[in-house]
Amino acid sequence: MWLWRSTVQSPKGVIVLVHGAGEYHGRYEKTNQLLNEHGYHIIMGDLPGQGTTAGPRGHIDSFSQYVREVTSWMREAFQFDLPVILMGHSMGGLAAQETLHSLPDHLQPEVMLLSSPCFGLATSQPRWRRTLAGMLSRTAPKTMFPNGLEPGSGTRDETMRQRDEADDLLVKKVSARWYTELLKAMKRAHETAPALPDVPVYVTQGGDDRIVDKQEVRRWFDALRVSEKAYKEWPDAYHEVLNEPERRQVADHLIGFLDVQLQLRRR
C-alpha cells in the first residue's frame, strides 16, 4: 500500500483509489499528482494477482479477494481525521461499488467516484469461448489467456502508450477463473444497483471507450436510487479519461462535484 500526500496547507480528504485490470499503482502518477494538487491525499495498493503482489499473476479464486483488499485500504484511510472518498477505474470501479455494498457503517465513504467503470465489455466474446472459459474455470481455473486488449486502446496519450510497452509489471494474460469472476461481478453490479448505499456517486466516462461498454455504464448509473449522482461523458476520450490529453478538464470536473458534496455534507 502506498500514500501520496497532498502538500496543501489544509488537505480536504483521503481518496482510496482502486486501479483497473492488468495495471498497478505505478500507472497512476499523473492522476495522483492532479488529485494531490486539488488537496487530496491518495491511498492506493495493488490488487491481488497484479503489479507487485505475490501469487499467480492475472488470477483470482474469487472476486471477493478484491473486495477484501479494498476494504483494508479503506480501514487505513480512516486513520486520517479527514473525509474518505472511494474511487475506482475500470475493473477497479466494479470492485469499488461491490466493496461499497459490503462496507460497515463506520467505513462508508463520503463520496464514490468512478472512472469508466467496467459494467460491461465493449467487445463480447463468442459464446463458445465463454462456454470454454466456464468449463476451465471449474476444472483448470489457472489456465491463462491473453486479455484481449489491443495496444493503445486505453488512451490517446503517446507517452502512456510507450510507457506501457516497456512495463513488465502490466498483466497481459488472465486466468479462466478471473474471467468468469469478472462476468459474475458485472452481472451482480446491475442486479444490485438500486440497492447501492446512499452515497453521492460521480461517473466520468470516455465517449470513445474501446474497452468498456458505455451503454452498460449508463444503464447501471440510471438504475441507482442514491440521492445525489452525476454522469459526465467526454466525447473524444478513450477509456482512461484521466490519462487523456484533456485530463486536467476531467480532473477539474470530477473535483468540482467532490468539493461540493463534501461541503454539503459538512452542513
**121 Rama class: left (phi>0) / alpha (psi -120 to 50) / beta:** beta
Q: Is 209 a catalytic residue?
A: yes
User: Is 90 labeled as catalytic in the residue annotation?
Assistant: yes
CA angle 33, 258, 102 (to 5 degrees): 100
pLDDT at 129: 81
Convert the pLDDT of each residue in 162-217 to its tens digit.
988 889 999 999 999 999 999 999 999 999 999 999 999 999 999 999 999 999 99
Asked whether 49 and 56 are in contact (CB, 8 A), the reply is yes
90, 115, 116, 137: which is the annotated catalytic residue? Answer: 90
Active site residue 239: yes
pLDDT < 70 regions, the chain: none
Catalytic residue, chosen from 41, 59, 89, 239, is 239
Please state which CATH number belongs to domain 2-266: 3.40.50.1820
DSSP labels, 52-88: T-SSSTT--S-THHHHHHHHHHHHHHTTSSS-EEEEE
> Is the separation of the CB atoms in 78 and 227 below 8 Å?
no
Q: Please give the pLDDT value at position 220.
A: 99
